[in-house]
């Protein structure tokens, strides 16, 4: 179901038109970026499989983009030709609402998604592509300290974990748990450890124990072992749930300390069921978080450069994307696929 | 089902012993209090009706107590004979755990409930009674500015609303909603208005609109009118849900602004069902809160004295308690029954 050129050509009756449209010429505040690498996010798969409401095809997924500026508009001041920049899930926003004013563009009603968005009346196309035109304010600076391929997943997976860690004030000595050690979870462990937290990984089996330790986790708990929840009762300030499948939220809430928060980053199909008494008796919270604002994404990238944090990646060719999708659906990736865009024929 | 002396006498086979036990003599740090007034909390009804796990009878409910100190132990420093004091839901706690150290005794695992608790190996008996012995630290000072009868409900209903308003940082200009205008809700309106918030009352019908306005609410919204949720979309920083019955949490969450919190004070039977996407797209939260700590309860009483806040009460005689219970179950009280303990024969 990958919306490649071949896929689009096969789509019965679908016009080939829109996705073949040339990138618009940069406006005065735009930069034109040659894409070097693009990470594969689970959202790309949902989107390509038509599981997003309103998804239109043909389309180009990809919102973990690292590339080189090859052209910049006359009014551009933040980037110059030759700079390595990153582009995440957004390419623009309204810029004058309270969310934009607060640097929380991800919540702006006029936010333009990197793909499947609409900009100047035209669809936006993502990072599985050779080039992208983007407003300079939505291109992030990538430090030369960061290897560009492994930095690509920071643009979505990285900020998705960094933002809630900051929002819920994780710092030295905080007790943090990460549910699920995948593309998101492994970034959560690295970032929380770098922030000085005491980090526990919850996983469904023993399989990833060694990896969790290698990534810096201080504890590893098998969630299918009932003793886990007795042992860890009342321990955590913040739990980041990176798993979209339904899990026993009440069991995890029992491992929060007073005023702790279970933060949902993966959202299940159907309603979440909670025993509210579990929240009541230590004033616990259920929250959720989605990526982060532009300023915070830059802060995250700078933090990663300072702490030598990138994603663990497996580099693939463009013609391996369908196979990569299948492997992601089987959780067979440690921990993020990145497409080498030089392989895009 | 009210556990009066008559009820106890009628209880087949139940020993009359325990509840007839004399109050223990005050220890050096205790005060003996003549109870003047006791509010009726909905919890009392649940308890009297055997709906609390582990409830034992005979028992004496009541945890909204105002009385006069008639005797004080040799080590008592906070209260003297003749002082008017209040006693809420707790009469002691372990005093050395992290919850106690933080002034959050309500979350102490060793917290002793005012009734149905165990202290020195004996059951505790609540405020539908002539006297109570209590550790001086758990007796609160009631300002002479506060009328003692109408102050009684502050000890539970008052702190139940005050604590979350403070915890979730309500202040001047905050947008606050209160779901349900009953014994809890009417205190929430008065307190939030006094804190400078812009307050909306959600109610199931028009019936309480005038009352809401009289109490200081700035807006009144009928929750059974679907337009309500469109009109108020994205408005509130904090919503205090005082209703125990199941309500449409998702609809209320839609009226929160970014980073807003729906706080459950009433807990429904069975699980709470949530659409987690409703939390995700503006990083909203679901929380819960139960009474408050001793220091905060004193702060609340002082705040009420400063702002002339008491409960709207209907005074009853002791022999009207069963009738009051029935009226509470029909929501036929504006807004709190208080027993005049001088009528206890």
Predicted confidence at residue A52, as pLDDT, reads: 79
Query: Which of the residues B241, B283, B291 would you substitute to probe the A interface, choosing the one with the greatest number of A C-beta atoms within 10 Å?
Result: B283
Query: Which of the residues B288, B290, B296 would you substitute to probe the A interface, choosing the one with the greatest number of A C-beta atoms within 10 Å?
Result: B288
Q: Among B272, B276, B288, whose Cβ lies nearest the Cβ of A288? A: B276
**A241: closest CA among A282, A194, A274?**
A274
Query: Which of the residues A280, A282, A291 would you substitute to probe the B interface, choosing the one with the greatest number of B C-beta atoms within 10 Å?
Result: A280
CB of A208 within 8 A of CB of A200?
A: no
Is any Cβ of chain B less than 8 angstroms from the Cβ of A167?
A: yes
Span B158-183, mean pLDDT?
98
CB-CB under 8 Å, A281 with B286 = no
CB-CB under 8 Å, B283 with A287 = yes
CB of A175 within 8 A of CB of A329?
A: no
Chain B closest CA to A144's CA: distance in Å? Answer: 33
Task: Find, in chain A, the residue whose alpha carbon is nearest to that of B260.
Answer: A287
Phi and psi, residue B150, nearest 5° = -75, -15
Helix, strand, coil tally for chain B in percent (to 5): 30, 25, 45
CB-CB under 8 Å, B281 with A285 = no
Question: How many angstroms separate the CA atoms of A178 and A331, rounded?
Answer: 16
Predicted confidence at residue B78, as pLDDT, reads: 96
Chain A residues within 8 A of B290 when measuring between CB atoms? 280-281, 283
Phi and psi, residue A144, nearest 5° = -60, -20
Interface of A with B in 262-281 (CB under 8 A): 264, 267-268, 271-277, 279-281
CB of B69 within 8 A of CB of B142?
A: no
pLDDT for B172 beyond 60 = yes
Question: Within chain B, what is the greatest distance between any pair of CA atoms?
Answer: 62
Question: Would strands B175-179 and B236-241 be described as parallel, antiparallel, or unpaired?
Answer: parallel
CB-CB under 8 Å, B267 with A272 = no
Span B151-158, mean pLDDT?
98
String of DSSP letters for B39-80? E--HHHHHHHTT-STT--SS------EEEEEEEE-TT--S--
Task: Find, in chain B, the residue whose alpha carbon is nearest to that of A287.
Answer: B285
Predicted confidence at residue B29, as pLDDT, reads: 96
Length reported for chain B: 345
Chain B residues within 8 A of A107 when measuring between CB atoms? 258, 281-283
pLDDT category at B269 given cuts 50, 70, 90 is: confident
Q: Among A107, A275, A283, whose Cβ lies nearest the Cβ of B282? A: A107
Predicted confidence at residue A15, as pLDDT, reads: 41
Q: Among A261, A285, A288, whose Cβ lies nearest the Cβ of B280? A: A288
Sheet holding B236-241, edge to edge: A219-222, A198-203, A175-179, A236-241, A256-264, A285-288, B285-288, B256-264, B236-241, B175-179, B198-203, B219-222
CB of B127 within 8 A of CB of B91?
A: no
Taking the mean position of all CA atoms in its chain, how far away is CA A61? 13
CB-CB under 8 Å, A290 with B287 = no
Question: Which structural domains are found in chain B, ordered by start?
Answer: 5-154+311-343 (3.90.180.10), 158-288 (3.40.50.720)
Interface of A with B in 107-146 (CB under 8 A): 107
Chain B closest CA to A255's CA: distance in Å? Answer: 15
Question: Would strands B256-264 and B285-288 be described as parallel, antiparallel, or unpaired?
Answer: parallel
CB of A219 within 8 A of CB of A200?
A: yes
CB-CB under 8 Å, A279 with B264 = yes
Is any Cβ of chain B less than 8 angstroms from the Cβ of A251?
A: no
Chain A closest CA to B122's CA: distance in Å? Answer: 24
Span B152-163, mean pLDDT?
98
Q: Among A99, A104, A267, whose Cβ lies nearest the Cβ of B280? A: A267
pLDDT category at B23 given cuts 50, 70, 90 is: low
Predicted confidence at residue B11, as pLDDT, reads: 36
CB of B185 within 8 A of CB of B331?
A: no
Give the H or E element holding residue A231.
helix A227-231
pLDDT category at B270 given cuts 50, 70, 90 is: confident
CB-CB under 8 Å, B275 with A281 = no
Give the Å distances, CA to CA, from B198 to A237, A336, B172: 31, 47, 8
Query: Which of the residues A259, A270, A288, A289 would you substitute to probe the B interface, choosing the one with the greatest number of B C-beta atoms within 10 Å?
Result: A288
As a whole number, the mean pLDDT across chain B is 91
Q: Among A272, A273, A276, whose Cβ lies nearest the Cβ of B264? A: A276
pLDDT in tens, B119-153: 888 889 999 999 999 999 999 999 999 999 999 99
Is any Cβ of chain B less than 8 angstroms from the Cβ of A256?
A: no
CB-CB under 8 Å, B268 with A286 = no
Predicted confidence at residue B157, as pLDDT, reads: 98
CB of B104 within 8 A of CB of B1?
A: no
Chain B residues within 8 A of A274 when measuring between CB atoms? 271-274, 286
Interface of A with B in 83-112 (CB under 8 A): 98-99, 102, 104, 107
Chain B closest CA to A237's CA: distance in Å? Answer: 14
**How crowded is residue A151: how many other Cβ atoms within 10 Å of its Cβ?**
28
Between A and B, how many CB-CB pairs are < 8 A? 92
- Dihedral sign computed on CA atoms, order B119, B122, B123, B124: negative
Give the H or E element holding residue B279.
helix B276-280
Chain A residues within 8 A of B102 when measuring between CB atoms? 258
pLDDT for B19 beyond 70 = no
Predicted confidence at residue B16, as pLDDT, reads: 40
Chain B closest CA to A199's CA: distance in Å? Answer: 21
pLDDT for B55 beyond 90 = no
Question: How many angstroms separate the CA atoms of B166 and B168, rounded?
Answer: 5
Chain A residues within 8 A of B99 when measuring between CB atoms? 258
Give the H or E element holding residue B157.
helix B157-167
For tokens 């939260």, name the residue.
Answer: B285
Question: How many angstroms separate the CA atoms of B183 and B208, rounded?
Answer: 13
Query: What pLDDT tens digit does each residue of chain A (345 aa) get?
Result: 223 333 333 333 344 444 454 566 679 999 999 999 999 999 999 999 888 777 788 889 999 999 999 999 999 999 999 999 999 999 999 999 999 999 999 999 999 999 988 888 888 999 999 999 999 999 999 999 999 999 999 999 999 999 999 999 999 999 999 999 999 999 999 999 999 999 999 999 999 999 999 999 999 999 999 899 999 999 999 999 999 999 999 999 999 999 999 999 988 888 989 999 999 999 999 999 999 999 999 999 999 999 999 999 999 999 999 999 999 999 999 999 999 999 987
Span B296-311, mean pLDDT?
98
Chain A residues within 8 A of B273 when measuring between CB atoms? 271-274
Predicted confidence at residue A20, as pLDDT, reads: 53
Query: Which of the residues A287, A289, A290 would you substitute to probe the B interface, choosing the one with the greatest number of B C-beta atoms within 10 Å?
Result: A287
């Amino acid at each position: 179901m990958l919306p490649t050129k071949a896929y689009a050509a096969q789509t019965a009756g679908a016009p080939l038109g829109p996705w073949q449209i040339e990138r618009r010429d940069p406006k005065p505040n735009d930069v034109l970026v040659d894409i070097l690498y693009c990470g594969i996010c689970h959202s790309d798969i949902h989107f390509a499989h038509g599981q997003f409401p309103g998804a239109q095809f043909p389309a180009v997924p990809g919102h973990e983009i690292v590339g080189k500026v090859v052209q910049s508009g006359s009014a551009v001041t933040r980037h110059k030709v030759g700079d390595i920049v990153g582009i995440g899930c957004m390419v623009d926003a309204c810029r004058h609402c309270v969310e934009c004013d607060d640097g929380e563009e991800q919540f702006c009603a006029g936010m333009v998604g990197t793909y499947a968005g609409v900009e100047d009346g035209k669809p936006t196309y993502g990072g599985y592509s050779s080039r992208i035109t983007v407003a300079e304010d939505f291109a992030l600076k990538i430090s030369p300290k960061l290897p560009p391929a492994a930095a690509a997943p920071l643009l979505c997976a990285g900020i998705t974990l960094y933002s809630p860690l900051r929002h819920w004030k994780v710092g030295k000595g905080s007790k943090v748990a990460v549910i699920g050690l995948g593309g998101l979870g492994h970034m959560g462990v690295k970032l929380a450890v770098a922030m000085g937290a005491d980090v526990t990984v919850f996983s469904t089996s023993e399989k990833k124990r060694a990896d969790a330790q290698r990534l810096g986790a201080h504890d590893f708990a098998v969630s299918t072992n009932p003793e886990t929840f007795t042992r860890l009762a009342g321990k955590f300030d913040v739990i980041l749930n990176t798993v979209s499948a339904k899990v026993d939220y009440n069991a995890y809430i029992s491992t929060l300390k007073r005023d702790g928060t279970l933060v949902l980053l993966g959202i299940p199909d159907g309603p979440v069921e909670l025993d509210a008494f579990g929240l009541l008796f230590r004033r616990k919270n259920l929250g959720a978080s989605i990526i982060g604002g532009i300023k915070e994404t830059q802060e995250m990238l700078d933090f990663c450069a300072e702490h030598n944090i990138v994603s663990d990646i497996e580099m693939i060719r463009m013609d391996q994307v369908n196979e990569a999708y299948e492997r992601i659906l089987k959780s067979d990736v440690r921990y993020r696929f990145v497409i080498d865009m030089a392989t895009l024929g």
